[in-house]
Amino acid sequence: MMDSETKSLWSHLLGEAMDGELKGTVLESYPSHMTDWANWRAENPETTVAKLSRTSQRYRTEFYRNPSQFVVGIAGGGMAKAWNFQQLTKTPIVNDQFSDQSLVVVFDSKSKTALTFSRTLDDQVLTFEEKDKAMVDRETRSVWNRLSGKAIDGPLKGKRLAPMVSIVSFSKAWVTFHPNTTGLTKAELEESRAPRRSRNRQPRGDDKKP
């Protein structure tokens, strides 16, 4: 992408200017929430939405029909870590560490939503698990909404986990920009680094020779 003011070229994935007057500049990152419209509107009933005609038909849940092609990743301080959608489908709540931060990765298979939250709340590190399809912390047995990071029942009701900056990406793109990433299995890394298979083009009717 290019900015209008200096015509510098930017990496979508890194948020960094790769060429031009601002080369080397890194944009400040903010937590984002990539989900479907139904879940977003349920959590934010007063929301507004920018409808872009060129992408309105493209990003549906069918886009993720092959979950092994996608990861949710976090990067900073020269380090990177990612979690593959295929594994998150099997284990939708993952307690983990990145650098000195305790975090939880959550995944909703229906909407294909992957998010990361800090596990530290009021100086206490929480550990989460799935129980009866709900997210519960082991320390207080509070029940949490995994898509909003808000406690909806129990001693911590009303509390919210702090969202962390993470990116949903094609696994190939993530590994290309973060070749030393951790969190992925050897097989996942090998698949991400493998050359893309070319598709055999089927001749159309007008391609056939008379």
**Alpha-carbon separation of residue 114 from 73, 165, 171 (angstroms):** 10, 12, 14
Residue 128 is assigned to a structural domain of this protein: yes
Say how far apart CA 94 and CA 189 lie, in whole Å.
19
Query: Which residues of the chain are modeled with pLDDT < 70?
Result: 52-62, 196-210
Asked if 96 and 74 count as a contact pair (C-beta separation under 8 A), the reply is no
Q: What is the count of structural domains for the chain? A: 1
Asked if 184 and 84 count as a contact pair (C-beta separation under 8 A), the reply is yes
pLDDT at 62: 65
Residue 49 is assigned to a structural domain of this protein: no
CATH code assigned at 161: 2.102.10.10
Which range of residues forms the domain containing residue 108?
A: 68-193
Overall pTM surpassing 0.95 (yes/no): no
Residue with tokens 């849940």: 61
Say how far apart CA 143 and CA 151 lie, in whole Å.
6
Nearest to 114 by CA among 12, 181, 33: 33
Q: What is the dihedral of CA 19, 23, 28, 30, to 10 degrees?
A: 10
Residue 71: CB atoms within 10 Å: 31
Residue 53 is assigned to a structural domain of this protein: no
pLDDT tens readout for residues 99-108: 999 999 999 9
Residue 6 is assigned to a structural domain of this protein: no
Residue 10 is assigned to a structural domain of this protein: no
Residue 144 is assigned to a structural domain of this protein: yes
What are residue 43's phi and psi, to 5 degrees? -85, -25
Asked if 16 and 95 count as a contact pair (C-beta separation under 8 A), the reply is no
From edge to edge, which strands make up the β-sheet containing 79-84?
A: 79-84, 70-76, 167-170
pLDDT at 196: 61
pLDDT tens readout for residues 47-96: 888 776 665 556 566 677 788 889 999 998 889 999 999 999 999 999 99
Token pair listed for 96 = 């983990």
